[in-house]
């Protein structure tokens, strides 16, 4: 048995252990990346009434979703929501330029990454990338993409998630990817194409188990299988 086969056998044995571990949501990071502790994110962002900055513009725009009386295009069923979303995204970009490290900006981004508007999500994600990697931001990003049927916003989020590998939040990343791999058709294909960077010796058994549960005819299955094989080769030296 050469080195490659020994490693594959080793992984198979590890698999059983880790399947059990994952059932307890307990994938442990390989190396601990220090992440900052913060207070949990507030459910709703609010600023003082006399705040006349771009922030209050954004919050006023957000109210447009409920009031439906802002002076925006309503020529078809979704034109109004599109218009609100585009304006919020523009304002978020404006705020991002003006107040790079402002904690209020981070709070806004945490809220708007959960928007159902892809333009808004993208603007929020760009903001979060400029802030330290903290678990509450990860939680918001995961909530934002978890049930998404938008392959691009999910794909754009993957490098952000990747930063949490090796941190205490790593299991949350794998759980999110687990959901996405069996989520929306095009999202699952896109995630599976990019899954290799998330496979490490800790997560390998988890993804092996995931593979067993998938439809072997699907592109997602084939991509995941391919990534697992590549990881095995990387571990064994080819």
Q: Which of 122, 140, 145, 170 touches other proteins (CB under 8 A)? A: 122
DSSP lists the bridge partners of residue 36 as 134
Q: What is 174-201 written as a DSSP string?
A: HHHHHHHHTSSHHHHHHHHHTGGGG--T
Q: Which helix (H) or strand (E) holds 42?
A: none
Which residues of the chain form beta strands (DSSP E)? Answer: none
Q: Which of 47, 65, 99, 131 touches other proteins (CB under 8 A)? A: 65
Q: Sort 219 into a burial class: Cβ within 10 Å, 0-12 / 13-18 / 19+.
A: middle
Task: Return the number of the residue (18 or 119) whose C-beta is nearest other proteins.
Answer: 119
Nearest approach in angstroms of CB 205 to other proteins is 21
- List Cβ neighbours of 111 (8 Å cut-off, separation of 6 or more): 41, 44, 45, 124, 140
Q: Which of 38, 149, 159, 212 touches other proteins (CB under 8 A)? A: 149
Nearest approach in angstroms of CB 26 to other proteins is 25
Q: What are phi and psi of 36, to 5 degrees?
A: -75, 145
- List Cβ neighbours of 97 (8 Å cut-off, separation of 6 or more): none
Q: Which of 36, 51, 116, 130 touches other proteins (CB under 8 A)? A: 116
Rounded Cα distance, 10 and 89, in Å: 49
Residues near other proteins (CB under 8 A), total: 54
Q: Which of 45, 56, 70, 81 touches other proteins (CB under 8 A)? A: 81
Query: For residue 196, what is the DSSP state?
Result: G
DSSP lists the bridge partners of residue 134 as 36
Query: For residue 50, what is the DSSP state?
Result: T
Q: Which of residues 151-210 bind other proteins (CB under 8 A)?
A: 151-153, 155-156, 182-187, 190, 192-194, 196
Nearest approach in angstroms of CB 67 to other proteins is 13
Instruction: Using DSSP, state whether 36 is helix, strand or coil.
Output: strand
Nearest approach in angstroms of CB 118 to other proteins is 3
Task: Return the number of the residue (34 or 185) whose C-beta is nearest other proteins.
Answer: 185
Task: Return the number of the residue (51 or 73) whose C-beta is nearest other proteins.
Answer: 73
Question: In the complex, which residues of this chain contact other proteins (CB under 8 A)?
Answer: 2-4, 65, 74, 76-79, 81-82, 86, 89-90, 116-119, 122, 147-153, 155-156, 182-187, 190, 192-194, 196, 215-219, 222-223, 226, 229-230, 233-234, 236-238
């Amino acid at each position: 048995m050469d080195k490659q086969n020994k490693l594959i056998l080793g992984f198979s044995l590890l698999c059983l252990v880790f399947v059990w571990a994952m059932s307890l949501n307990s994938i442990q990071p390989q190396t601990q990346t220090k992440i900052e502790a913060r207070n949990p994110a507030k459910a709703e962002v609010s600023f003082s009434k006399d705040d006349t900055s771009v922030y209050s513009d954004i919050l006023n725009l957000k109210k447009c979703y409920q009031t439906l009386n802002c002076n925006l295009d309503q020529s078809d069923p979704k034109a109004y929501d599109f218009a609100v979303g585009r304006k919020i995204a523009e304002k978020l970009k404006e705020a991002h330029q003006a107040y790079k490290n402002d904690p209020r900006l981070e709070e806004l981004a945490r809220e708007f990454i959960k928007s159902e508007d892809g333009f808004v999500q993208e603007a929020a994600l760009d903001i979060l990338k400029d802030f330290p990697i903290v678990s509450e931001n990860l939680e918001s990003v995961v909530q934002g993409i978890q049930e998404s049927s938008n392959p691009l916003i999910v794909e754009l989020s993957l490098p952000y998630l990747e930063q949490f590998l090796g941190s205490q939040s790593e299991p949350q990343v794998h759980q999110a990817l687990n959901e996405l791999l069996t989520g929306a058709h095009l999202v699952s294909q896109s995630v599976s194409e990019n899954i290799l960077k998330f496979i490490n010796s800790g997560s390998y058994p988890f993804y092996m188990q995931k593979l067993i549960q998938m439809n072997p005819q699907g592109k997602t299955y084939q991509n995941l299988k391919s990534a697992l094989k590549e990881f095995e080769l990387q571990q064994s030296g080819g």
